[in-house]
């Protein structure tokens, strides 16, 4: 069965410092991975997906099949990045989410 | 373009009661998925509906059931409520075969 692990429940980073949110997965097939974000008082929304290899709001994530990881990175944190971040794996019709990491940017 | 909407926003029930939660999908979307998010956890997949039929189910007992209507809106029904059913229930809509699910704001259910 698939599994998504986000080892850090909480992460605090100073403004301007690099950010890395960790995500590891367990899946027997070829994974489709996503990062979802939830800002304060807003709904869960897609941040980025590994297939499109895009950079959204300065964030990138690279799929590393050897390490079964999909870590989210940003070189310079901004205060507006404070939010809850969820890594998710798609298996057919369902998304399997990690438990999330609450990122706080310290001004 | 209208986003995903859910009703009600909050609900309080007692153990043993039944509850119905509603979801209207985003314009142009034909698939609806339901998730349960307990406090401090990520969303857990309950089931998905496409063309008014269940199209996949997670590890939830049969007392969790659903419906999808011709306009693609959906209901989640939970019978014989238990205290552990207290959670945020999320609905997400998508296009069948599409990767991205768009989430509603959720319904917060409290079972006393």
Alpha helices for A23-98 (secondary structure H): none
Q: Token pair for residue B96? A: 């069948």
Selected residue of B33, B34, B101 to mutate for chain A interface (largest A Cβ count, 10 A): B101
The answer to whether residue A43 neighbours chain B at the CB level (below 8 Å) is yes
Q: What is the DSSP secondary structure assignment for residue B42, as one 8-state letter?
A: -
Shortest distance between the Cα of B48 and any Cα of chain A, in A, equals: 7
Residues A98, B42: C-beta atoms closer than 8 Å = yes
Q: Is the peptide bond before B8 cis (omega within 30 degrees of 0)?
A: yes
pLDDT 10s digits, B54-100? 999 999 999 999 999 999 999 999 999 999 999 999 999 998 877 78
- Residue pair A8/A100 in contact (Cβ under 8 Å)? The answer is no
pLDDT 10s digits, A1-58? 889 999 999 999 999 999 999 999 999 888 899 999 999 999 999 999 887 777 889 9
Counted across chains A and B, CB pairs separated by less than 8 A come out at 53
Residues B100, A97: C-beta atoms closer than 8 Å = no
Alpha helices for chain B (secondary structure H): none
């Amino acid at each position: 069965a698939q599994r998504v692990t986000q080892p850090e429940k909480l992460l605090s980073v100073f403004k301007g410092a690099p950010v890395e949110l960790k995500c590891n997965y367990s899946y027997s097939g070829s994974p489709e991975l996503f990062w979802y974000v939830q800002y304060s008082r807003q709904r869960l929304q897609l941040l980025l997906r590994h297939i499109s290899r895009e950079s959204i709001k300065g964030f990138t994530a690279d799929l590393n099949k050897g390490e079964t990881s999909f870590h989210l990175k940003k070189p310079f944190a901004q205060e507006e990045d404070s939010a809850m971040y969820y890594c998710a794996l798609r298996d057919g019709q369902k998304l399997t989410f990690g438990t999330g990491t609450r990122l706080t940017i310290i001004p | 373009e209208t986003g995903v909407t859910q009703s009600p926003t909050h609900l309080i029930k007692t153990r043993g009661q039944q509850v119905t939660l509603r979801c209207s999908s985003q314009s142009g979307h034909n698939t609806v998925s339901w998730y349960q998010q307990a406090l401090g956890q990520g969303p857990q997949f309950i089931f998905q509906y496409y063309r008014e039929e269940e199209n996949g189910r997670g590890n939830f007992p049969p007392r969790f059931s659903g419906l999808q209507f011709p306009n693609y809106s959906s209901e989640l029904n939970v019978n014989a409520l238990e205290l552990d059913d207290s959670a945020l229930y999320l609905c997400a809509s998508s296009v069948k075969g599409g990767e991205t699910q768009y989430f509603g704001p959720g319904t917060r259910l409290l079972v006393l």
